[in-house]
Chains A and B, each alone.
Chain A
Amino acid sequence: MKEEPLLLVKDLNVVFRYPGKEITAARGVSFAVGRNETLVMAGESGSGKSVTALSVCGLLPEQSAFVSGSARFDGAELIGMPQKRLRSFRGRRIAYIFQEPASYLNPVYSIGEQIAEVIRLHRGAGRAAAWKEAEHLLELSGISCPQRAARSYPHQLSGGMNQRAAISMALACRPELLIADEPTTSLDMTTEAEIIKLLTRLKKELGFSLLFITHNLAIAEHIADQVAVMFRGELVEYRMKEELFASPEHAHTKELLAAYEKVGRFIEG
């Protein structure tokens, strides 16, 4: 029998219910991420890609977001799993990085403290050992002065540095799956390229699967094995990267590609 992929999402629906209003953010979404594979999920803002990614690990507000369908991670069903059990997956086997690192890092704790926190929690390390490991992780993420960065607070670092710190934090427990929710959108072009390169290198060194969410298909071309395109809460096209770039089928994919080419030409010219 063929081995099941690391993450297998089937017929996932996300509905937000507010008093007097109901919004379907994701409808019948199915995809799979194999071990050491990279899936790029593309789509314009509001297409439901972030909601899909967050729902996998139960990170949507429970009072208003209703998730149905199936998301199996290494054989375990995540949808409907109690928060307490989900927590043993989060940060340890499935890690997240987000769009604006400066606001996703807690402003009142030092970078080192925030990284060490995950290590202490999931790996049971002592304070000093966790701090050492945090410094090591920062170095691994290409920060040249890790001791100093560990003592810094988010507001003291640049966006790129903060994203490197967030990546260090995400990879602290050597997760099997990294979910990156538009991690480069708020960064400038040069930094964006650096972060992409960093993720590619770390993926090679540490070995993890990557679910990369973006509205920019240019990134897909660099890192993706497969590409999924979301449009208005539905997955409209889901294929191997080469096929998709060679012969896009859905109109929205074509739009995204056209935009990418325009941007590309603009940058080259």
Chain B
Amino acid sequence: MVSEVIMKKYILGRILGIIPLLFGISLLSFAVINLAPGKPVALENSLNPRISAQTLLRLQKLYELDKPLHERYWNWLKRAAVLDFGRSFGDNRPVMDKIAERLPITVAINLLSLLLILAAAIPLGVRCALRPDGVLDKSLTAAMFFIFAVPTFWLALLLMNFFGITLRWLPVSGITSLDYEYLSPTGKAADLFRHLFLPVTVSSLGGIAAMARYMRSSMIDALAQPYIRMARAKGLPESSVLYKHAFRNAVMPLVTILGLSLPGLVGGSVIFESIFSIPGAGRLFYEAVMMRDYPLIMAEVVIVSLLTMSANLLADLSYAWIDPRLRDKR
């Protein structure tokens, strides 16, 4: 079919489009490295007295601070292309190993949050759309106003205090209990659930509110379309009219919005993993920043942005794939 060829072209185009993007990220990252005020000596004096002469030498070697800028960039690019970001200042392990250990946890938690956002926001938004200005709709609007105004890390602290310390219902740190190894499979699952409940819920709240609001207006738009009148004129039951004809149209644009909400979610990982002591990539990044572990910081910035952007691209592509109108374009 013609549309398949067009689709392949579109995907190829989007993937090729990532290349200048990658170039942009690398340039930006490199610029940040070179923002570090001037010479390594200055670094030693002004930024961090903990950096020893030896590390400075290593730093100098890693970033080849004695070479001209363009040469340095080229070399850095060559190494970054094969994911060689050097060794951590902290324990001298390859930074890629350290990230590879931690990243799955962060990815898993963010996926859980995304799932929760979708599972909560879609039905909520649809309900509100069925009765605009009804009780549920008005409470959602009000709730959203508050949710957007609450600093999420503060909310996390309050909930931690309430559920973890006052009520003692939920654990407040880590992702597993000390006796995790000895638990039965169901016990393990329950333990994980108890540990992840608060971090996942709190990090999803903003997304739920925003997405429910979006779903609501999208559904209201869809319900006002002529094809809904046609669906009713065909004698379809109301459930079919709503959940087949209106819903499918309303839910599709949500994919792109979901993609756009990713950066916030991923950025939030740093804060939530620190608060809940979750050994993920976000906390690793926080520790790296606190210790000014430059190779680790740079590697994480590049890898996390790459992942977020790929996920974003994936969202756009799946939107183009599920919407027949976009399938034929470009």
Question: Do these two chains really belong together in a complex?
Answer: yes
Q: Complex formed: what's the CA distance from A98 to B238 in Å?
A: 20
A105 contacts chain B at the CB level, 8 A cutoff: yes
Q: Complex formed: what's the CA distance from A108 to B253 in Å?
A: 12
- B232-269 vs A, CB cutoff 8 Å, 1 = contact: the mask equals 11111110000001001100100000000000000000
A117 touches B236 (CB 8 A): yes
Q: Complex formed: what's the CA distance from A181 to B172 in Å?
A: 64
- A134-172 vs B, CB cutoff 8 Å, 1 = contact: the mask equals 000000000000000000010110000000001001000
A95 touches B233 (CB 8 A): yes
Q: Is the interface of B mostly helix, strand, loop or mixed?
A: helix
B323 touches A98 (CB 8 A): no
Closest to A93 in B: B235
A72 contacts chain B at the CB level, 8 A cutoff: no
A108-B252, A108-B323 as given contacts; A59 in contact with B234, CB under 8 Å: no
B46 contacts chain A at the CB level, 8 A cutoff: no
A71 contacts chain B at the CB level, 8 A cutoff: no
Contact pick for A87, options B237, B245, B248, B249, CB 8 Å: B237
**Closest Cβ of chain A: how far from B254's Cβ, in Å?**
13
A107-B325, A108-B248, A155-B325 as given contacts; A98 in contact with B226, CB under 8 Å: yes
Contact pick for A155, options B232, B238, B328, CB 8 Å: B328
A73 contacts chain B at the CB level, 8 A cutoff: no
Q: What is the total number of residues of chain B having a CB less than 8 Å from a CB of chain A?
A: 21
Contact pick for A106, options B232, B233, B245, CB 8 Å: B245
B324 touches A153 (CB 8 A): yes
B235 touches A103 (CB 8 A): no
Closest to B236 in A: A121
B54 contacts chain A at the CB level, 8 A cutoff: no
Q: Complex formed: what's the CA distance from A122 to B229 in Å?
A: 18
Contact pick for B233, options A88, A96, A103, A110, CB 8 Å: A96
Closest to B249 in A: A108
A112 contacts chain B at the CB level, 8 A cutoff: no
Inter-chain contact total with CB atoms closer than 8 Å:
73
Closest to B251 in A: A108
Q: Which residues of B contact A89 (CB under 8 A)?
A: 235
Contact pick for B230, options A83, A104, A108, CB 8 Å: A104
- B22-55 vs A, CB cutoff 8 Å, 1 = contact: the mask equals 0000000000000000000000000000000000
A215 contacts chain B at the CB level, 8 A cutoff: no
A106 touches B227 (CB 8 A): yes
A103-B227, A104-B226 as given contacts; A88 in contact with B325, CB under 8 Å: no
A98 touches B229 (CB 8 A): yes
**Closest Cβ of chain B: how far from A120's Cβ, in Å?**
11
A12 contacts chain B at the CB level, 8 A cutoff: no
Q: Which residues of A contact B324 (CB under 8 A)?
A: 107-108, 110, 153, 155
Closest to A172 in B: B234
B99 contacts chain A at the CB level, 8 A cutoff: no
Q: Complex formed: what's the CA distance from A105 to B233 in Å?
A: 12
Give the contacts of A190-217 with B (CB-CB under 8 A): none
Closest to B323 in A: A108
**Closest Cβ of chain B: how far from A230's Cβ, in Å?**
20
Closest to B326 in A: A155
**Closest Cβ of chain B: how far from A245's Cβ, in Å?**
31
Q: Complex formed: what's the CA distance from A209 to B104 in Å?
A: 66
- B51-81 vs A, CB cutoff 8 Å, 1 = contact: the mask equals 0000000000000000000000000000000
A90 touches B233 (CB 8 A): yes
Q: Complex formed: what's the CA distance from A195 to B249 in Å?
A: 29
**Closest Cβ of chain A: how far from B134's Cβ, in Å?**
12
- B216-234 vs A, CB cutoff 8 Å, 1 = contact: the mask equals 0000000001110111111
Q: Complex formed: what's the CA distance from A100 to B234 in Å?
A: 16
Q: Which residues of A contact B234 (CB under 8 A)?
A: 90-91, 95, 117-118, 121, 169
Q: Complex formed: what's the CA distance from A104 to B228 in Å?
A: 8
Q: Which residues of A contact B245 (CB under 8 A)?
A: 106, 109
Which residue numbers of A lie inside 8 Å of B, CB to CB? Answer: 54, 57, 59, 83, 87-92, 95-96, 98, 100, 103-110, 117-118, 121-122, 153, 155-156, 166, 169
Some 27 contacts from A to B, beta carbons below 8 A apart, are A59-B233, A87-B237, A90-B232, A90-B234, A90-B235, A91-B235, A91-B236, A92-B235, A96-B230, A98-B229, A104-B229, A105-B227, A106-B230, A106-B248, A107-B227, A107-B249, A107-B324, A108-B324, A108-B325, A110-B324, A118-B234, A118-B235, A121-B234, A153-B324, A153-B325, A166-B230, A169-B234
Which residue numbers of B lie inside 8 Å of A, CB to CB? Answer: 225-227, 229-238, 245, 248-249, 252, 323-325, 328
